[in-house]
Chain A
Amino acid sequence: MLKKQGGENLAGKIKRYQLKLPSSTNHLELIREFVTNIARGVGFDDEKISQIELAVDEACTNVVKHAYKGDDKQPLDVLVQTDSKKFKIIISDKGKGFSPNKIKTPDMKKYLSEMRVGGLGIYLMQTLMDEVDFKMEPGKKNRVQLVKYIPQ
């Protein structure tokens, strides 16, 4: 389901685009297309579009794999909200949340030397985006908010 809404704030006209899907990895490709198309329209260059694409994929993959533990029929919402300054993506789910203050930036050298698999998503989101914010209410609504500043 795709909805487009509008509004105003201090940074100009707000545009909203919403995608609601079941929590299947099968939909990652569609989610990436949805977000990159909007990012391209805002005027980001290819490198920044790739960064947004990867950060959103990592957030949604975490929802499917961790919040819902692979259950592919749960709600996954992707909301893109833009004004003249910020490109904001809010990914929400109703699954098992996590404690954001327990997340530490991994020591990559140690991490890689131990050859651990997975768990790199949050590190990537924080590296690729200008702002990353988590709000967790396990079972009710967990929310990951990613922001990229729009070149002025």
Chain B
Amino acid sequence: MSGFEIALLENKEIVTLHLKGFLDAHTAPDLETELQKCISNKRYKVIVNFQELGYISSAGLGVFMGFIEEIRKNGGDIKLTNMSSKIFRVFDLLGFPALYEIFKTEEEAVQKFT
């Protein structure tokens, strides 16, 4: 058991990934697979909802770095939402808020896309 789950929701051109559990070096490949699928399916508008994520390490953050360039090159973005203060602190520590748009709610991220 990996202690990590991803629920995928598609709404028109936006794909939303809901993360649950622990995102570490063991589970990061699962998220890589999902983001790779988005790119293969030419779905470049991606929202990642962290509401139910309890933990993230640099291996988890690294996944976003690995895909953002290609997604933006194709006119899309990865927007991040619903982070707990624990998760936000890790992103903040590594300077991610300067690179990624982080929203309190999914609705705000959707509006930014449309």
Contact = CB atoms under 8 A, between A and B. Distances in A.
Nearest to B29: A25
A150 interface: no
Interface residues of B, number: 24
A65 B24 CA distance: 12
Contact of A28 (B26, B89, B93, B96): B26
B39 interface: no
- Determine chain B's interface SS by DSSP, over half rule: helix
- Determine chain A's interface SS by DSSP, over half rule: helix
Nearest to B93: A127
Contact of A112 (B26, B58, B89, B96): B96
A24 B26 CA distance: 8
Interface residues of A, number: 29
Interface of B: 3, 22, 24-26, 55, 57-59, 61-62, 65-66, 68-69, 86, 89-90, 93-96, 98-99
9 contacts: A28-B24, A50-B89, A65-B25, A108-B95, A109-B98, A112-B95, A120-B94, A124-B93, A124-B94
Question: What are the 10 A-B residue pairs with the smallest beta carbon separation, nearest first?
Answer: A25-B26, A120-B58, A61-B25, A25-B25, A117-B62, A108-B95, A57-B57, A117-B66, A28-B24, A117-B65
